[in-house]
Amino acid sequence: MDFELTAEQRMWKEAVHDFVAQEVKPKAKEVDENGEVNWTAIHKMGSLGLLGLNVPEEYGGAGVDAVSAAIAIEELGWGCGSTALSIAAHNGLGCAPLALFGKEALKQKYLPIVARGRHPDGSPSGLAALALTEPQAGSDLRGIRTHARLEGDHWVINGTKMWCTNAGIAEYILTLVRHDQEQGSEPFSLILVPTDQPGLKIDPPEKKMGLKGSPTHAVSYQQVRVPQDYLLGKPGAGLRQTLQVLDGGRIGIAALSIGLAQAAFEFALQYAKERKAFGLPIAEQEAIQWMIADAATEIHAARMMVYYAAWLKDQGKRFTKEAAMAKLFASEMAERVCRNAIQIHGGYGYSREYPVERIYRDARLMTIGEGTSEIQRLVIARQLLKA
């Protein structure tokens, strides 16, 4: 593969970068301290295409290629981890499954709203969400217990989900459920649940270490009724659909990790040039230079891994292994780079007055969300062993 971006991709990168620099990055500290969603920026994203990265143009989306989608998430991560996570989850987990597997009527009803960020009457809309994890089922999706029972022409859903990004600000939550198993089929399906349905309870946002402006919630379903055709695809296809979606989502988390690392690296580089010790800028110290060199090298390597996985996706080839590799390397790389950025800042890096403290806290989730590093290693190993 030729890793050189196309002219269109370079223009896209520049446009997104400029938007993030103006609308997202200046409010990152405020978003973190107040734990509030940056709606001002999000409401402007629809017209730029950032809310419909995975949505075809006929449904109001941007329908960009996978490399361009990764570029956008990286730039958002460079600006604000919280905002980037909500938009990455919205696109990769909330919109993508509906665009890939939803029935035509369902796509026409919901995709234009969430991709444009507007209701038909012009009022702002919420984002999209995906609910997988449960109190007793995280990495083991086969262990979920949230149940859907078909009654007439409606599904009746009961159960509890945890760690659902965007639930409290969502138009709908795609929910992985267990149901009565037909002979020869899997007992799992994805069902679209509008957030205004009676019986759906969304708890207050979790109090988290970082990413405080990206709300994460527990969600409970108590006799929640949704139409039968709100199921995505055929009954029993939910686990396969989810795993396919998570492959793409891992590219997004990897890209977000690179954005966080890039921001921390830039702050550290600037600080190293300005801060003096023993009469010289600390950038003159070999120990500092090594950390700077390692950061630049690892960021570049991670970016190439993300581009390659995204390119495979665009080519319609299998990318499960490559997405897991990119997510594993980029997320662990981001922790190292952010840690060293704090080290370069010294005591100031531990202070909330400097952005590297926030970025480090935000980066910590990346090795956990959408499959822990341990799960990524299992995925990679199994792909290699069955080859």
Q: Write out pLDDT tens, residues 305-314.
A: 999 999 999 9
Determine whether 370 is an active site residue.
yes
- Say which residues have a Cβ less than 8 Å from residue 42's Cβ, sequence separation at least 6: 51, 83, 86, 87, 117, 127
67-113 pLDDT, tens digit per residue, is 999 999 999 999 999 999 999 999 999 999 999 999 999 999 999 99
Phi, psi for 277 (deg, rounded to 5): -145, 140
The string of DSSP letters for 250-305 reads HHHHHHHHHHHHHHHHHHHHHHHHH-EETTEEGGGSHHHHHHHHHHHHHHHHHHHH
Spatial contact of 309 and 321, defined as CB atoms under 8 Å apart: no
Structure confidence at residue 116 (pLDDT): 97
132-141 pLDDT, tens digit per residue, is 999 998 888 9
Structure confidence at residue 184 (pLDDT): 60
Report which DSSP code applies to 92. Answer: I
Averaged pLDDT for residues 235-264: 97
- The share of the chain scoring above pLDDT 90, in percent, equals 96
Spatial contact of 175 and 133, defined as CB atoms under 8 Å apart: no
Half-sphere CA count of 206, side-chain side, radius 13 A = 16
User: How deeply is 348 buried, as exposed, middle or buried, from its count of CB atoms within 10 A (0-12, 13-18, 19+)?
Assistant: middle
- pTM of structure: 0.96
pLDDT bucket at 2, cuts 50 / 70 / 90: low
Structure confidence at residue 138 (pLDDT): 85
pLDDT bucket at 253, cuts 50 / 70 / 90: very high
274-303 pLDDT, tens digit per residue, is 999 999 999 999 999 999 999 999 999 999
Residue of 74, 322, 332, 370 marked catalytic: 370
Average pLDDT for the chain: 96
For 127, 213, 254, 319, the CA distances from 34, given in Å and listed in that order, are: 20, 8, 26, 38
